Amino acid sequence: MLDVLRGKTAFPPPVWMMRQAGRYLPEYRETRKRAGSFLDLCYNPDLAVEVTLQPIRRFGFDASILFSDILVVPHALGRDLHFEEGRGPLMTPLEVAEIDGLETERFHVNLSPIYETVRRLRADLPDETTLIGFCGAPWTVATYMIAGHGTPDQAPARLFAYRHPQAMRRLLKLLADQSAAYLIRQIDAGADVVQIFDSWSGVLDGAGFQASCVEPVAEIVRQVHAAHPDVPVVAFPKGAGSRYDGYRAATGAAALGLDWTVPLAQARCLQKDGAVQGNLDPQRLVAGGEALSEGIEAILDALGDGPLVFNLGHGITPETPIAHVEAMISQVRSARK
């Protein structure tokens, strides 16, 4: 996986899944019940290690992603946060006047259980399993801080950026600085790779994409590389469409996570400049059968000759049958050119 992220070709490609520890697994649901709330699970190193390892034990993925959430960053900055069954994350909407009062002093103390989870994971995982640390991109994190909950198109954050451009810039810069420090600590604790999730980069106009997605992510990559020049950074600007072109060069990301809407012809062009990761539609994994096998084959055919990390184009959904995950892994692993 590390070689591939640095630009080498491996076939069959390494494989893992976004949200590979999650509700589609009975052992996850059981541990989640024991933890109490979702956030209790994120901040409990014993249980967070356990759920991170569950999909590795069951499926033997090539990479393991720290179990946590992107919203622990605003939580560690003093914002309230809880997760409600069926509603997702809930926060008190951030106001302009509160930006300069975000509390950075206790940031790493608040996140120390997560660093502990990373340390234990690196010790417990097989040597050949790559450990991925992560954070949310400043824009995506800001959308939840501003709206206080998920929305279909992040209209509240877009409006906030138009009405208060300077405040938005300060917020994104603060989130970039804190997120970079957070990733650096994860690498110090044992993460081999870090990924930046920009799940809402697809809702911005051209100028907004440049200012709110490209520049803050580039800032994080700069700071991570200043501390750890050899650690690859994967960036996932979900929904970026034609703006994937040029994004790698503009941000310094080593590898691009591709959502399922990226056509494979475009993915091939993007792969000329380095590794790509993705991009099976998670609904193909729910459907199984030919929809699944054809989707996998198309990706391997189009991208198998270059640096590819096989993955979904977004997270696995709770209703996905485990047998379909097994079928996906076995098809990828048995592929021959």
Residues belonging to the active site: 19, 23, 32, 69, 144
Maximal C-alpha separation, the chain = 58
Nearest to 240 by CA among 204, 264, 285: 204
- Residue closer to ligand CP3, measured from CB, 11 or 38: 38
Omega within 30 of 0 (cis) for the link into 279: yes
Of 13-21, 96-104, 161-169, 201-209, the window that binds ligand CP3 (rule: CB under 6 A) is 13-21
Of 63-71, 95-103, 121-129, 161-169, the window that binds ligand CP3 (rule: CB under 6 A) is 63-71
* Least distance to ligand CP3, CB of residue 28, Å: 7
Does position 201 bind ligand CP3 by CB under 6 A? Answer: no
> DSSP string covering 209-246, please?
IIIIIIHHHHHHHHHHHHH-TTS-EEEEETT-GGGGTT
- Residue closer to ligand CP3, measured from CB, 69 or 116: 69
Of 83-91, 115-123, 218-226, 272-280, the window that binds ligand CP3 (rule: CB under 6 A) is 83-91
Omega within 30 of 0 (cis) for the link into 321: no
* Least distance to ligand CP3, CB of residue 83, Å: 6
Question: Residue 101 burial (CB < 10 Å; 0-12/13-18/19+)?
Answer: exposed
* Least distance to ligand CP3, CB of residue 18, Å: 5
Rule CB under 6 A: which of 155-194 touch ligand CP3?
none
- Residue closer to ligand CP3, measured from CB, 8 or 29: 29
Reduced to 3 states, what is the DSSP secondary structure of residue 77? coil
Among 13, 22, 74, 304, binds ligand CP3 (CB under 6 A): 22
Does position 199 bind ligand CP3 by CB under 6 A? Answer: yes
Decide: 264 and 245 in contact? Cβ < 8 Å: no
d(CA 145, CA 81): 9
Reduced to 3 states, what is the DSSP secondary structure of residue 113? helix
Of 62-70, 176-184, 209-217, 252-260, the window that binds ligand CP3 (rule: CB under 6 A) is 62-70
Decide: 257 and 233 in contact? Cβ < 8 Å: no
Which H/E stretch holds residue 268?
helix 264-271
Binding map of ligand CP3 across residues 104-143, x = CB under 6 A, - = no contact = ------------------------------x-x---x---
Which residues make up the interface to ligand CP3 (CB under 6 A)? 18-23, 32, 38, 65, 67, 69-71, 83, 88-89, 134, 136, 140, 150, 197, 199, 315
